[in-house]
Structure 1
C-alpha cells in the first residue's frame, strides 16, 4: 500500500508495475502460458466438433470460432513478445478435461441428431465460460500491473469469447433444443 500525500491513512494503489510485484507478474505469465496451451489445444479439438455436428448454424459458428481461436493463439504470441518472453505453453488441465468431456458427449449421443448438437453446444459453452473467466482474470491482472497494451489485447479476445458464447446460446434456444426434445 502507498500512503496518501496529505493524510495518515493508507490508500490502495490502483496500479503497480511488474517490478513492484514479481509474484503477481509470475502468476500472470503462468496464466498466459496456460491459455496458450488451451487455445492451441482447441485448434486441434474444434475440427472434431465440426465434423460431429449436424446443424448448419452450429457448424458455421464453430468454424467461425476456429478461425478466431487461431487468432487468439497469435495474440497470445504477441503478448509473450510484449512481455519479453518466449511463447511457452503450460498444460491446461481444465481445457484438457473440458475437451475430453466434449468427446464423451459425441461418443454417447447418436450421430446426426439434434441431441448430439445440443450436447456439442453444452460442451462448447463450458469451454467458452472457462476462457471468459481466464481472459477476464488476466485482463484484470494486466491492468493492475500497468500492462495497458497487453490488457487491450486480452480485452479484445475476451469480447470475442463472450460473443461466441452468446451465439451458441442463440443457436440452442432458437430451435435446436426444441428439435432435440422431440427426438425419440
Structure 2
C-alpha cells in the first residue's frame, strides 16, 4: 500500500489503482446522491406549500432539514475521497419527483388527494434513496472504509425512519 501523503485517506485504505472501475462506479453513485439530495432541497418547499394537512406540511419541512444533513454527509464523503463536490443528475429520481409534483399540483383542489399524492411521492423518493444508499454502503464496506460507511448508515437510518413515518401518515390521511 502506498502511503504517499498526497493521496486521500480513502486511497490509503483501498488502493484505487487496483480497482478503478469500482471507484468510478462508487463516485458516480455519490454524485447521483448529492444531486438528488440537493434537488430535494429545492423541490420540497413547494411540496410543503401544496400540502393541505398541517401534519404533512410540518413533516415535509422536517424532511427538508434531514435532507440538508444528508447533503453535509455527502460533502464529508467527497472530502474523505479528496474529490470535487459535484452532483450528477439521477434521471430516475428526477422523473419520480416531477411526476409526483405534477400530480399534486393537478389535485390541489382536493386536499386529501393532493396530500396522498405528495406522501406517495415522498415514499417513492425515500425508498429509492434507501436502495441507492444501501448499494453505496455495501461498496464502502467492500472498500473497507468505516468513516464513509458510518456516514451512509446514518443517512440510511434517517431515510428508513421517514419512509415508515410517511407510510403511516398516508394510511391516516387516506382513511
TM-score by length of 2: 0.88
Note if contact 1:16-1:144 (Cα within 8 Å) is conserved in structure 2: no
Matches within 5 A, 1:87-126: 87-111=85-109, 113-126=111-124
Match of 2:162 in 1: 164
Q: Does structure 1 residue 177 correspond to structure 2 residue 160?
A: no
Match of 1:151 in 2: 149
Q: Distance in 1 between matches of 2:134 and 2:15?
A: 19
Matches within 5 A, 1:31-110: 31-110=29-108
Q: Distance in 2 between matches of 1:64 and 1:160?
A: 11
Which consecutive segments of 4 or more residues in structure 1 shift more than 4 A? none
Q: Distance in 2 between matches of 1:17 and 1:61?
A: 42
Q: Distance in 2 between matches of 1:20 and 1:152?
A: 24
Note if contact 1:136-1:158 (Cα within 8 Å) is conserved in structure 2: yes
Higher relative helix content:
2
Distance 1:164 1:17, change over 3 A: farther
Note if contact 1:53-1:112 (Cα within 8 Å) is conserved in structure 2: no
Where 2:16 maps in the other structure, the secondary structure is coil
Aligned residue pairs, count:
163
Give 5+ residue unaligned stretches, structure 1.
1-14, 179-184
Bigger Cα Rg: 1
TM-score by length of 1: 0.84
Root mean square deviation, CA, Å: 1.5
